[in-house]
Chain A
Amino acid sequence: MNMRFSMWLSGRLLVPKGESKYARLRLVRSAALIAIVMIPLVLALIFMDGMMNGITDKYILLQDGHIQLHVEDPLFDSQYDVSAIDPRLESADYVVSGYGIVYSRDTTAEVRIKGVDISYFNENRMTQLEFTGEPLKKEGSLAAVMLSTTIAQKLGVEVGQRVAFMVVPDSYSSVVRPVLANVTALYDSGYHELDSSLLFMNRDDAMRYFPKDRNAYTELLVSRDHVDDLGAIVATLESAMDKNFPYATWDEFNGTVYQNFITSRQVILLVFMMILLVAGVYVSSIAQEMIQDSMQSIALFKTLGATNSNLSWAYFCSVMVVTSIGLVAGVSLGLLIGSQIGVLLHWLGNSGLAGLQYYLLDFRIVISWRDILAISFSMLVISSVTVRLSLGRIRRISPLEMLQQD
């Protein structure tokens, strides 16, 4: 096959010269439409990936950590740099956790109580929340707690006020006594689902209420790039400390949340595929139009010795170049707009729509290149198939058609 001729013809089809205004406009419009199709797909991906990663980060950094080592005594002191054992580790915190009911004068709320040291709120975790007051600062004998603004609003309490709580007692005590606590701070993570049930308590206080044999563990955070290496990281720790640790990982704690994310992503990608299928049909119609407009030229090329495959390749390449330009333009614009998506989400967050509380609207923009490449590649594949199907028309053009028979 003569690629030189096909490439030359393809180039001429892509850059129609002279007065072929219609041909030029058609190519520009086609690329523009493909770009317009890609922009919302990219935006939706950015939003979905960003939000899911953001929610995952909230759960990991504030609630569960990446790994929980179920060892009742602390493994490290708060100053110890665990990255010395394994550079993939970022922090290790000794935590005491349990469940209880917190109540004010006439309202109750079921909460997960997390007993932590002030060092728990490291740089990483501080990116996930904002707070007012002095978190967990002990004053007097009362337990120091930090509530979410969500729980505080429900209970009608503020910083400096007191709440009562009952904790799930250990098996040795059958009597539950209410305990008073000082609200030393309020936090807001931006994610209502988490905030509505998470309460932080001074660890020393928590240890009074939750027996460490069942409620204490060391919570590990790993660096973002190594979230798939959790088993290996634990193995390194065990080897370094010459111990075996019973442990659990974050996807095990939040299996439902994790599974929901996977399912949501699959549904969204399914919808994308349908849109790309229709877009692929549109791309094939561009090819059909180009062929229809050049029927006489195609007949003449054939008369002059061009083969069906020469011509098919030329048209295929020119249509796919237009598609690719539209694709690249659309993805680029989508990424550009997506990088500013925070402004729109901020406005949405202030709109007061009740349903938005199930979503996280303040998150770090995450660009999943894998997903973007996947939809781009799918678009190219679908377009290639549909265009190849419509190029069959070239085969049916006979050189004799062009000649005026008498």
Chain B
Amino acid sequence: MFTLKLAWRYAFSRSNRHRSATIVIMLGIAVGMLAIIIMLSLMNRLQSDLLDQVKSIESFHVQVTFPANESDARTVDDIVAALRGTPGVAQVYPQVNTQVLIQNPATNRSTTARLRIIDSSIWKTENPFSDRTHMVRGSYPTPLHIATGTALATKLSLALGDSINMTVLGAGKTVVLAPTTIAVTASGVFRTGLPEFDSSTLVTDLDPLVSTIGAKRIMYGLYLEDGYVDNSKQVLRSITETFPSATIRTWQQVNSAFYSALTLEKVLMYLFLFFMFIILAVNMKNASSRLLHVKQRELAILRAVGAQKTTATKVFLGQTIIITVLGETLGIIGGVYLGKYIGNVFSWLNSLQYLFTRRDNLLLAYPFTTEVKAMEVALIAISVLVLSLGFTYLGCRRLFRKEPMEMLYHD
């Protein structure tokens, strides 16, 4: 208790000229923590929203495919049933994704697109895709009807009911891929919030196109139950046991490059922001070193009246812990609170910059939200504390080598 009291006094006593240095360092740590929490929580939310969209709309949680040359008596329905029966699997949707050429004769517009041929039950049941997809106009596709993304519909100047020519590459008689042109009807326009998906994808029902394209190209998209999405080892094992020849890819593997890029960006952000703490730690080292110089007489007196040698060590390290913990606490509270209202803050900043530029800033006008990960914050807090203690040690290391009384001799 005495040590703690002394550490507090050294840090904050009004009669102590060290006080302002303490407050500056503490505020610096608070600002640093606030900044790092805000930036990382923004990144967390942006990345998790993006990944959520990608795995819900684009890649599914798990993709299962079978070798093209494998002859298997099981039908698509058998395979779906077996997969659905695997523990951890919530839904299974057989599908084919392929490139197509589309012409809209009504408007003379044409383009390439990606066609997703998928069981139309995906629109009707509750699943991550239907949760995020909003049918802007019309209805979900039935056989020989298609739904397009909003941007794609605009590109083609597509109206509901328009008949469009779609050329798709399917199994040929003598070649693996041969083009087939089919007339389909636009039945709906959807929006998913994933711009690349909306600008390039048509969706239609499995029947009858899957037979044109070839059942061998079917990929089974699986949605997993909560808890298994990011930790699917068990599910994968079960599927492998059931289908030893199947190729199974998780959403991380399907999007490995993208995922890796996001991880890289986050690591770089960590490094950059951690730099702030290096600066603060140097500050702390200097302050500790100066405090030691000022307090050496006092420490010698303490030794003379019976304090242990480690008392001085504990006082200095205790001081660092107090300053760092207080600073971090302030920073975390500020960061979490500000994170909750970050949208309002950015909106205010946008209004401010509008006064000068007369234009909205896209970054500031974006409706940001944050996701604070407790483990991440805890890890940062511990790292900062360890860094602070390390630098304090550097600032006072002669204290830990020498007897405080010895330091008086040069006086």
Contacts from A to B (Cβ < 8 Å): 26, 33, 37, 40, 44, 99-101, 103, 105-106, 108-111, 164, 166-171, 174-178, 256, 259, 262-263, 266-267, 271, 274-275, 277-279, 281-282, 284-285, 288-289, 292, 353-359, 390, 393
Cross-chain contact A103 with B177 (CB below 8 angstroms): yes
Chain A residue nearest in CB terms to B176: A106
Cross-chain contact B290 with A289 (CB below 8 angstroms): yes
Cross-chain contact B101 with A288 (CB below 8 angstroms): no
Cross-chain contact A166 with B286 (CB below 8 angstroms): no
Q: Which residues of B are found within 8 Å of A167, using beta-carbon distances?
A: 101
Q: Using A103-B177, A108-B98, A289-B286 as known contacts, say yes or no to A271 and B108 having CB atoms under 8 A apart.
A: no
Cross-chain contact A100 with B35 (CB below 8 angstroms): no
Cross-chain contact A356 with B264 (CB below 8 angstroms): yes
Q: Which residues of B are found within 8 Å of A106, using beta-carbon distances?
A: 68, 176-177
Report the separation of the CA atoms of residues A225 and B99 in the bound assembly, to the nearest whole angstrom: 41
Cross-chain contact B363 with A355 (CB below 8 angstroms): no
Q: Using A101-B99, A176-B179 as known contacts, say yes or no to A274 and B35 having CB atoms under 8 A apart.
A: yes
Tell me if B262 is interfacial: C-beta within 8 Å of chain A: yes
B46-85 vs A, CB cutoff 8 Å, 1 = contact: the mask equals: 0000000000000000000000100000000000000000
Cross-chain contact B111 with A278 (CB below 8 angstroms): no
List 19 additional contacts besides A110-B114, A168-B103, A282-B283; criterion CB under 8 Å: A100-B112, A105-B176, A110-B99, A166-B169, A166-B179, A168-B110, A168-B112, A171-B105, A267-B363, A277-B31, A281-B31, A281-B280, A282-B282, A285-B283, A288-B24, A289-B21, A289-B286, A356-B264, A390-B20
List, sorted by A's number, 21 A–B pairs whose CB atoms are closer than 8 Å. A40-B272, A100-B112, A101-B100, A110-B114, A111-B112, A168-B102, A168-B103, A168-B111, A168-B112, A171-B108, A178-B178, A263-B362, A271-B39, A274-B31, A274-B35, A274-B273, A278-B28, A282-B280, A355-B257, A357-B257, A358-B258
Chain A residue nearest in CB terms to B29: A278
Q: Which residues of A are found within 8 Å of B283, using beta-carbon distances?
A: 281-282, 285
B110-144 vs A, CB cutoff 8 Å, 1 = contact: the mask equals: 11111000000000000000000000000000000
Report the separation of the CA atoms of residues A106 and B113 in the bound assembly, to the nearest whole angstrom: 18
Q: Which residues of B are found within 8 Å of A168, using beta-carbon distances?
A: 101-103, 110-112
Cross-chain contact B272 with A275 (CB below 8 angstroms): yes
Chain B residue nearest in CB terms to A214: B108
Cross-chain contact A285 with B176 (CB below 8 angstroms): no
Cross-chain contact B105 with A174 (CB below 8 angstroms): yes
Report the separation of the CA atoms of residues A259 and B257 in the bound assembly, to the nearest whole angstrom: 22
Report the separation of the CA atoms of residues A58 and B360 in the bound assembly, to the nearest whole angstrom: 29
Q: Using A101-B112, A288-B21, A357-B257 as known contacts, say yes or no to A278 and B276 having CB atoms under 8 A apart.
A: yes
The minimal Cβ–Cβ distance linking B296 to chain A, given in whole angstroms, is 15
Chain A residue nearest in CB terms to B277: A278
The minimal Cβ–Cβ distance linking B157 to chain A, given in whole angstroms, is 12
Q: Which residues of A are found within 8 Å of B21, using beta-carbon distances?
A: 285, 288-289
B28 contact from A111, A263, A281, A393, Cβ within 8 A: A281
Residue of B25, B102, B179 with most partner-chain A CB within 10 A? B179
Q: Which residues of A are found within 8 Å of B35, using beta-carbon distances?
A: 274
Contacts from B to A (Cβ < 8 Å): 17, 20-21, 24-25, 27-28, 31-32, 35, 39, 68, 98-103, 105, 108, 110-114, 165, 167, 169, 175-179, 181, 195, 256-264, 269, 272-273, 275-276, 279-280, 282-283, 286-287, 290, 361-363
A358 contact from B108, B257, B290, Cβ within 8 A: B257
Cross-chain contact B177 with A108 (CB below 8 angstroms): yes
Q: Which residues of A are found within 8 Å of B272, using beta-carbon distances?
A: 40, 44, 271, 275
Report the separation of the CA atoms of residues A164 and B172 in the bound assembly, to the nearest whole angstrom: 14
Q: Which residues of A are found within 8 Å of B177, using beta-carbon distances?
A: 103, 105-106, 108, 164
Cross-chain contact B165 with A174 (CB below 8 angstroms): yes
Q: Which residues of B are found within 8 Å of A177, using beta-carbon distances?
A: 179
A99 contact from B17, B112, B179, Cβ within 8 A: B112
Cross-chain contact B101 with A101 (CB below 8 angstroms): yes
B362 contact from A101, A111, A259, Cβ within 8 A: A259
Report the separation of the CA atoms of residues A390 and B32 in the bound assembly, to the nearest whole angstrom: 20
Report the separation of the CA atoms of residues A103 and B28 in the bound assembly, to the nearest whole angstrom: 59
The minimal Cβ–Cβ distance linking B320 to chain A, given in whole angstroms, is 16
Q: Which residues of B are found within 8 Å of A169, using beta-carbon distances?
A: 101, 103, 110
Report the separation of the CA atoms of residues A109 and B100 in the bound assembly, to the nearest whole angstrom: 10
* List of 4 A-B pairs having minimum Cβ-Cβ separation, nearest first: A355-B260, A355-B261, A171-B108, A176-B167
Report the separation of the CA atoms of residues A266 and B357 in the bound assembly, to the nearest whole angstrom: 15
Q: Using A101-B169, A271-B272, A284-B24 as known contacts, say yes or no to A356 and B279 having CB atoms under 8 A apart.
A: no
Q: Which residues of A are found within 8 Å of B273, using beta-carbon distances?
A: 271, 274-275
The minimal Cβ–Cβ distance linking A84 to chain B, given in whole angstroms, is 38
The minimal Cβ–Cβ distance linking A388 to chain B, given in whole angstroms, is 14
Chain A residue nearest in CB terms to B200: A110
Q: Using A169-B110, A278-B276, A355-B259 as known contacts, say yes or no to A271 and B269 having CB atoms under 8 A apart.
A: yes
Q: Which residues of A are found within 8 Å of B176, using beta-carbon distances?
A: 105-106
Cross-chain contact B24 with A266 (CB below 8 angstroms): no
Cross-chain contact B68 with A285 (CB below 8 angstroms): no
The minimal Cβ–Cβ distance linking B58 to chain A, given in whole angstroms, is 15
Q: Using A168-B101, A271-B273 as known contacts, say yes or no to A278 and B31 having CB atoms under 8 A apart.
A: yes
Report the separation of the CA atoms of residues A111 and B24 in the bound assembly, to the nearest whole angstrom: 58
Q: Using A33-B279, A176-B181 as known contacts, say yes or no to A166 and B101 having CB atoms under 8 A apart.
A: yes
Cross-chain contact A281 with B27 (CB below 8 angstroms): yes
Q: Which residues of B are found within 8 Å of A353, using beta-carbon distances?
A: 260, 264
Cross-chain contact B257 with A285 (CB below 8 angstroms): no
Report the separation of the CA atoms of residues A390 and B273 in the bound assembly, to the nearest whole angstrom: 25
Report the separation of the CA atoms of residues A277 and B275 in the bound assembly, to the nearest whole angstrom: 12
Report the separation of the CA atoms of residues A232 and B326 in the bound assembly, to the nearest whole angstrom: 59
Cross-chain contact B286 with A285 (CB below 8 angstroms): yes
Cross-chain contact A288 with B282 (CB below 8 angstroms): no
Q: Which residues of B are found within 8 Å of A178, using beta-carbon distances?
A: 178-179
B111 contact from A44, A99, A274, Cβ within 8 A: A99
Chain B residue nearest in CB terms to A99: B112
Cross-chain contact A355 with B264 (CB below 8 angstroms): yes
Residue of A169, A175, A355, A358 with most partner-chain B CB within 10 A? A355
Chain B residue nearest in CB terms to A197: B112
Q: Which residues of B are found within 8 Å of A174, using beta-carbon distances?
A: 103, 105, 165, 181
The minimal Cβ–Cβ distance linking B76 to chain A, given in whole angstroms, is 20
Chain A residue nearest in CB terms to B25: A285
The minimal Cβ–Cβ distance linking A236 to chain B, given in whole angstroms, is 29
Cross-chain contact A354 with B282 (CB below 8 angstroms): no
Q: Which residues of B are found within 8 Å of A262, using beta-carbon distances?
A: 362
B169 contact from A108, A282, A288, Cβ within 8 A: A108
Cross-chain contact B279 with A279 (CB below 8 angstroms): yes
Q: Which residues of A are found within 8 Å of B24, using beta-carbon distances?
A: 281, 284-285, 288
Q: Which residues of B are found within 8 Å of A259, using beta-carbon distances?
A: 362
